[in-house]
Chain A
């Protein structure tokens, strides 16, 4: 799976949009971008994923650049409960749910009042 690079930490004001970047310049054509988050002392939680089109669900939006070498996870109105470590993971999708996930360091997002 392709390697990803994320900032170590970010701050965001409560109620504002949190934009978390991820670089994945070596991504292959059949690899998806997945985002997970881990709130302190809990297991990781799936957020969203995409291949090349922008995606939106009830939790977040995912913007993938046209060349697919980077992406941004957007939490439109961050709350204190969004404070967590956010992991960007690139992996083969399309029926390969059983493939292992490799976690990097992630971005520690601190939402402040």
Chain B
């Protein structure tokens, strides 16, 4: 299947700082990527859809000025958590759709963010 990577796999930061998470499709191009957030013992919740060459679309309740998304190329999307606070601590996961084979989305390994 298609491979999606994320970097970093985990990050610890102080409250008030910004953190950037990268999502890359390694062996295919993706004009769209998705960002999810998962709190402990909960399911994945879609945060936003990243679109190459245009603005991201955010789900209701997700602050676009706090979670900045940049789809810089056909293989890279970045999520920046600005002015992070402890309540932003979560597991962030990206996915990219791949039209071949299973015709579905493939997920990155996730990034564990801990804000102190």
Contact = CB atoms under 8 A, between A and B. Distances in A.
Interface of A: 34, 36, 38, 41-46, 49, 87, 93-106
A36 B105 CA distance: 10
Contact of B91 (A41, A96, A106): A41
B107 interface: yes
A49 B97 CA distance: 15
Contacts of B99: 95, 97
A45 B103 contact: no
18 contacts: A41-B112, A42-B110, A43-B110, A44-B44, A44-B107, A49-B102, A49-B104, A93-B103, A97-B99, A97-B103, A97-B104, A98-B32, A100-B49, A101-B46, A102-B46, A103-B44, A105-B43, A106-B43
Given A101-B105, A105-B43, A44 B49 contact: no
SS of B interface (majority): strand
B97 A98 contact: yes
Given A97-B97, A100-B46, 14 more contacts: A38-B44, A41-B110, A43-B93, A44-B44, A46-B105, A94-B103, A95-B103, A97-B99, A98-B32, A98-B97, A99-B97, A100-B49, A103-B44, A106-B43
Question: 9 nearest interchain CB pairs?
Answer: A43-B107, A97-B97, A98-B97, A103-B44, A103-B43, A44-B107, A97-B103, A43-B110, A97-B99
Interface string B93-116: 101011100111111111010000
B67 interface: no
Nearest to A87: B43
A32 B40 CA distance: 29
A15 to B, nearest CB: 26
Which of B95, B107, B110 neighbours the largest number of chain A CB atoms within 10 Å of its CB?
Answer: B107
A96 B103 contact: yes
Contact of B104 (A42, A46, A103, A105): A46
Contacts of B32: 98
B61 interface: no
Contacts of A96: 103
A3 B78 CA distance: 30
A90 B83 CA distance: 36
